[in-house]
Amino acid sequence: MPLLEVKNVTHYFGGLRAVHNYNLTLEPGQIRGLIGPNGAGKTTIFNLITGIYRPSEGEILFNGQNIVGLQPYQIAAMGLGRTFQNLQLWRHVNVLDHVKMARYSKITYGLVGAFFGTRKRYREEAEIEELAYHLLELVGIRRYADQLVTNLPYGILRRVEMARALATEPKVLFLDEPTAGMNPEELVQMMEIIRQVHQEFNLAIFLIEHRMKFVMELCETIQTLVFGEVIAEGTPEQIQNDPRVIEAYLGKELVE
Ligand SMILES: Nc1ncnc2c1ncn2[C@@H]1O[C@H](COP(=O)(O)OP(=O)(O)O)[C@@H](O)[C@H]1O
Ligand SMILES: [Mg+2]
């Protein structure tokens, strides 16, 4: 059984058909990519799968269970982790606490423990801190642990988001333009981080990008979305040479 199966999903915003007849199968450990020009519907697909929007039509199965209609927090708790294209961080919270807070959403230690600081609570706190440091190390930003996010560059903030997503122990990680706002050097680093994360946790990863080169290097297969429709799907090699894809991009991103 596939980990995630999206079947014939269509979504309208008012009169606008943002996604049409979309299908996806994701197996455990697989890395797949979704590319397409701005406004193609990529983020909408993430929002449909993660429960932010409810599809107008179609089915979404996670481990065989239909998740259409569940709340985003319920879907997250089942093992679907994500980052946002527009960063969702708090200006006055430091980097370490961002990751710890993401983890707290996953555990409970009961009202009594929360008030009186039972031993179980202290142990959990220590474990959470250790995990948070480990994740910061993994994404290469441990040295920023004490800093408020206000003053940090995009490249670092995107990594904070990734550490937060990983703190919930997802089975699938959805990354929405993880290189947005990054310079070429940060882009190469991000590629390496994604490889390491994939290796360490053996997650399935679904990656949105509009930089072709980035997805080409990371993904086993790629879908190309244009005006809400998948116009081509295949290996990086097939996608790169597909005339429909080249036309959609007018050649410009292919050489980037
Ligand atoms: N919440 C919304 N309400 C109305 N229209 C939306 C909303 N979100 C996205 N859209 C529209 O849906 C289309 C696809 O947007 P989006 O999924 O953000 O594209 P992409 O991520 O590929 O750039 C665009 O035309 C966009 O304006
Ligand atoms: Mg988008």
pLDDT tens digits, one per residue of 166-222? 998 899 999 999 888 888 888 899 999 999 999 999 899 999 987 888 899 999 999
Ligand 2 centroid–CA 39 distance in Å is: 7
Average pLDDT over residues 230-243: 94
Average pLDDT over residues 7-25: 97
Average pLDDT over residues 111-137: 81
- Mutational test site, ligand 1, from 10, 12, 13, max ligand atoms within 8 Å of CB: 13
CA separation for the pair 154, 216 (Å, rounded): 23
**Chain segment 96-108, per-residue pLDDT in tens:** 999 998 887 665 5
Ligand 2 centroid–CA 108 distance in Å is: 33
Can you name the CATH fold of 4-79+170-249?
Answer: Rossmann fold (3.40.50)
The count of other CB atoms within 10 Å of the CB of residue 186 is: 17
By C-alpha distance, which of 166, 193, 3 is closest to 82?
166
By C-alpha distance, which of 164, 177, 188 is closest to 76?
164
Specify the ligand 1 atom closest to the Cα of 46.
17
Ligand 2 centroid–CA 130 distance in Å is: 33
* Sheet of strand 57-62, all strands in order from the earlier edge strand to the far edge: 16-26, 4-13, 57-62, 65-66
Ligand 2 centroid–CA 210 distance in Å is: 9
Structure tokens at 115: 């008030």
Q: Which of 63-72, 76-85, 241-250 has the highest mean pLDDT?
A: 63-72
Q: What is the pLDDT of the chain when averaged over all its residues?
A: 89
Question: Which residue has its alpha carbon closest to ligand 1 atom 2?
Answer: 13
What ranges make up the beta strands (E) of the chain? 4-13, 16-26, 31-35, 57-62, 65-66, 80-82, 172-176, 204-209, 221-226, 229-234
Query: Do residues 248 and 39 touch, judged by C-beta distance below 8 A?
Result: no
Question: Which residue has its alpha carbon closest to ligand 1 atom 27?
Answer: 39
Question: Which residue has its alpha carbon closest to ligand 1 atom 4?
Answer: 13
Specify the ligand 1 atom closest to the Cα of 177.
21
Tokens 């999206």 belong to 6
Structure tokens at 188: 């190469």
pLDDT for 255 equals 42
pLDDT for 248 equals 83
Question: Which residue has its alpha carbon closest to ligand 1 atom 1?
Answer: 13
CA separation for the pair 6, 34 (Å, rounded): 14
Query: Within 6 Å (CB) of ligand 1, which residues are found?
Result: 13, 16, 18, 36, 38-44
**pTM to 2 decimal places:** 0.88
Query: Do residues 178 and 158 touch, judged by C-beta distance below 8 A?
Result: yes
- Mutational test site, ligand 1, from 20, 22, 34, 44, max ligand atoms within 8 Å of CB: 44
CA separation for the pair 212, 197 (Å, rounded): 21
The count of other CB atoms within 10 Å of the CB of residue 16 is: 9
- Mutational test site, ligand 1, from 10, 11, 16, max ligand atoms within 8 Å of CB: 16
Indicate if the alpha-carbon torsion angle 226, 4, 8, 67 is positive or negative: negative
Q: Where are the domains of the chain?
A: 4-79+170-249, 90-152
Q: How does residue 116 score in pLDDT terms, banded at 50, 70 and 90?
A: low
Structure tokens at 34: 């979704």
Ligand 2 centroid–CA 229 distance in Å is: 15
Ligand 2 centroid–CA 125 distance in Å is: 35
Structure tokens at 12: 């309208």
pLDDT for 17 equals 97
pLDDT for 254 equals 47
Structure tokens at 106: 């996953």
In terms of phi and psi (left: phi > 0; alpha: psi -120 to 50; beta: otherwise), the region of 14 is left
By C-alpha distance, which of 227, 222, 251, 254 is closest to 239?
222
